[in-house]
Amino acid sequence: MADFSTQAIVLRTVDYSDSDKIVTLFTSGYGKIAAIAKGAKKSFKRFGGTLELFSLVDVVWSRGQRKGLPVLKEATVIKPFDRIRTDIFKTAYASYWSELIYKWMEEGQRHYSSFELLTHVLCSLDKDEIDDDVISILFQAKFLALCGFSPNLERCSVCQKPLDAFSGRLIEFSFKKGGVICLECLGKKGGMSFLRGTVKQLLWVFNAPLNKAFRVRFSKKSKEEAIRFIEAFVTYCFDKEFKSLKFLRDIRGAT
């Protein structure tokens, strides 16, 4: 029975039998895997405090010789991200990002860039140095790009006119065409409109390296537009309902 060692982020845990748990991990070396943690519910000595949601951990697991789930043998916490789990908004954001990874990534599909991205934004969210909304905009933008779903924000999706040549203060975006549309090509509205400045900031976020993208500064209006747009675009592109996103929107509306 071969053992495998890798860093991982805990995406979710589900109780299994009286003593075991099934843990879904997003690993740096093997992509998303689900493994059974035997005795995790009863043995504090073996897994106590190491399988908390969103934690960055070192894990050792084995596939075994028979069909069935891999077995999680060891787990050691690298970063617990305690601050995230004690703040309802941070928990909501981390849950949304984790659900995106969970629903989109196929089992065993190695995607180190996405692992690195998720680790980076969780660290930023836990440090509380950058606005949570901005971190979420950055994560979604970079994740969309990694998955090949970057929107066209540079030129009209119909006539290819450059964004700088668009007339008007508001820019129209067509979800169906996946990009901005100039007024001359617009026809019937069926998408979303937002400020030219918001479009340019989003374009910079999509194109800049991750460390530079974190320097972006949104006005209150642009941040609201960017959040509204990118969450809608993610839902459209992945064609999935995200329960954690609904919860996030609910608690935003309650404040």
Predicted TM-score (pTM) of the model is 0.93
Q: Where are the beta strands (DSSP E) in 54-165?
A: 56-62, 71-79
CB atoms near residue 106 (< 10 Å): 8
Q: What kind of architecture, by CATH, is found in domain 1-80?
A: Beta Barrel (2.40)
Tokens representing 48? 């106590």
Helix (H, G, I), strand (E, B) or coil at 227: helix
Q: Encode the chain (255 residues) as per-residue pLDDT tens digits.
A: 578 899 999 999 999 888 899 999 999 999 999 999 988 877 666 777 889 999 999 999 998 666 788 999 999 999 999 999 999 999 999 999 999 999 999 888 889 999 999 999 999 999 988 999 999 999 999 999 999 999 999 999 999 999 999 988 999 999 999 999 998 898 766 679 999 999 999 999 999 998 888 888 999 999 999 999 999 999 999 998 899 999 999 999 876
Amino acid sitting at position 31: G
CA angle 164, 169, 175 (to 5 degrees): 80
Q: In which residue ranges of the chain is CATH 2.40.50.140 found? A: 1-80
Alpha-carbon span 49 to 246, nearest angstrom: 28
Q: In which residue ranges of the chain is CATH 1.20.1440.120 found? A: 82-255
**Nearest alpha carbon to residue 98 among 83, 84, 79:** 84
In CATH, 82-255 is 1.20.1440.120: yes
